[in-house]
A and B are shown apart, each in its own frame.
Chain A
Amino acid sequence: MNIEEYIASGILELYVLDELPATERAEVEQMCEVHKEIRLELSLIENTMGTLALHTAVMPPPALKEKIKTQISASAPKAIEMPTVAPERPFNFAVAASVSVAILASALAFYFYSQWQSTQGQLEVLIAQNQEVADNYQFVNKRLQGLESDLDILSSPDYARIAMNGTENSPQSLATVYWNSHTAEVYLKIQNLKSLSEQQQYQLWAIVDGVPVDMGVFDTSTDLLQMKSVSAAAAFAVTIEPKGGSENPSLETMQVVGTTEV
């Protein structure tokens, strides 16, 4: 991985947010020592986080300041005077020997400890990688399950397929309603609808006995959308409404329409 890719991976943001496991932290710190670009980038990320925190500051209640001040001065540890004069003793070979043994044992302990640490580190990296693979798998699997159940509906003979073609407003638009008149379930698949501003949403209508009935609002999506149920409808249509939908359709904004009679 080159430096740009390393920076672009987002690992430095995780470092600054203190969300990395110890081994990866150490890796970032090491990279930092070697590469000036990474040092600069880290400093920029830190400054951005800091600036954001200052921009979104919230004043604490005024009384809190004194309270905290008192608490801090109460908890401040008192310095303890240590005696500095060590009593003199004659040289003792037994003590010297035991000190050497202790030093040797410590050195060995340290050696094994660092070996263990590095194995531990490698294990953590593997666990993290494994987790990432598992996450991705789960994500794909969920998506697949969604698509499978969509496909069941699209291919079911119980669902009538009602193509809604573009109106004069938008001849290119196209959407399809899948309607099961026995269970009253309605699904919507968008083939082509233009994207809307933040303040607007699409709304689906069913025409029942000549009256438009709200079937729910939706945003452009590639998924199959479940809409409200209706057991009898002569036609379906989609209009553009203010976000949240309207009680009555704004007919002049109608984008697509299709009748259920074949």
Chain B
Amino acid sequence: MQIQEMELVRLLRRKDEKGFEYLYTNYAGALYGVVSRIVIDRDIADELLQDAFLKIYNKIDSFDASKGKLFTWMLNLTRNLAIDKLRSKEMSQRRKSDNVGDSVYKLDRESTPSQEDHIGVRELLNQLDENQKQVMELVYFGGFTQAEAADELQLPLGTVKTRVRSALIYFRKTLDVR
């Protein structure tokens, strides 16, 4: 079943059950991947996925298709929830950048791939050069903003920006994104 994004938005706004089914089947895995790489703890990841779905439902009226795609909007909303959680008091103790790398990869071993063409995060990142990899571990998979990553790696923000960009261009080619 393939639904156009606008149709999905319409179903979600109407709180139609078909919308939920489609949303969950197609995006829950991607969103769960995002939160569980950032917070690691399974219980908190479960809680965050619930929060993300609730927020998607409660905020769907404010989604503006002229400013970007629904998937991007959902990914950011979810990522931001996870980052907020990470910054909250209860978890701030546990955030040490030197184990971000480990946590990013940890799930690869445990998780059941939800996609036939699932690639491990490690495999993906290993295709990058060392500089790009370091930045992407933090920014794309570790829940760091680019400014935080620059601070962490002691690099100028401009350098981080260009590395993120070159890494994404690489993925664009290898994953044949159009």
What residues of chain A have their CB less than 8 Å away from a CB belonging to chain B?
A: 8-11, 13-14, 16-19, 29, 42-61, 64-65, 67-69, 71-73, 75-76, 132, 135-136, 139, 142
B49 touches A68 (CB 8 A): yes
Question: Which residues of the other chain, B, contact A14 by a CB distance below 8 angstroms?
Answer: 146, 161
Chain A residue at minimum C-beta to C-beta distance from B50: A68
With contacts A10-B164, A56-B121, A57-B30 taken as known, whether A50 is within 8 angstroms of B69 at the C-beta atoms is yes
A135 touches B156 (CB 8 A): yes
Q: In the bound complex, how far is the Cα of B108 from the Cα of A199, in angstroms?
A: 22
The verdict on B46 contacting chain A, using a C-beta distance below 8 Å, is yes
A16 touches B68 (CB 8 A): yes
A75 touches B58 (CB 8 A): yes
Chain A residue at minimum C-beta to C-beta distance from B166: A10
B124 touches A52 (CB 8 A): yes
**Would you call the interface of chain B mostly helix, strand, loop, or mixed?**
helix
* CB within 8 Å: A-B pair count: 159
Q: Can you show 6 pairs from A to B with CB atoms below 8 A apart?
A: A10-B164, A13-B161, A47-B69, A54-B115, A55-B119, A59-B113
B146 touches A19 (CB 8 A): yes
A13 touches B168 (CB 8 A): yes
B45-85 CB mask vs A (1 if < 8 Å, else 0) is: 01001100110011000000001110110011001100000
B35-46 CB mask vs A (1 if < 8 Å, else 0) is: 011000010001
Q: In the bound complex, how far is the Cα of B50 from the Cα of A44, in angstroms?
A: 29
A52 touches B76 (CB 8 A): no
The verdict on B155 contacting chain A, using a C-beta distance below 8 Å, is yes
The verdict on B28 contacting chain A, using a C-beta distance below 8 Å, is yes
Q: B71's contact among A46, A57, A71, A135, by CB below 8 Å, is which?
A: A46
With contacts A16-B68, A135-B156, A139-B156 taken as known, whether A49 is within 8 angstroms of B168 at the C-beta atoms is yes
B32 touches A58 (CB 8 A): yes
Q: Which of B37, B69, B145 has the most CB of A within 10 A?
A: B69
The verdict on B131 contacting chain A, using a C-beta distance below 8 Å, is no
A71 touches B50 (CB 8 A): yes
B27 nearest CB across to chain A (Å): 8
Q: Which of B86-94, B95-103, B169-177 contacts A (4 or more CB under 8 A)?
A: B169-177
B121 touches A139 (CB 8 A): no
The verdict on B4 contacting chain A, using a C-beta distance below 8 Å, is no
Q: In the bound complex, how far is the Cα of B15 from the Cα of A41, in angstroms?
A: 33
Question: Which residues of the other chain, B, contact A64 by a CB distance below 8 angstroms?
Answer: 28, 46, 49-50
Chain B residue at minimum C-beta to C-beta distance from A143: B154
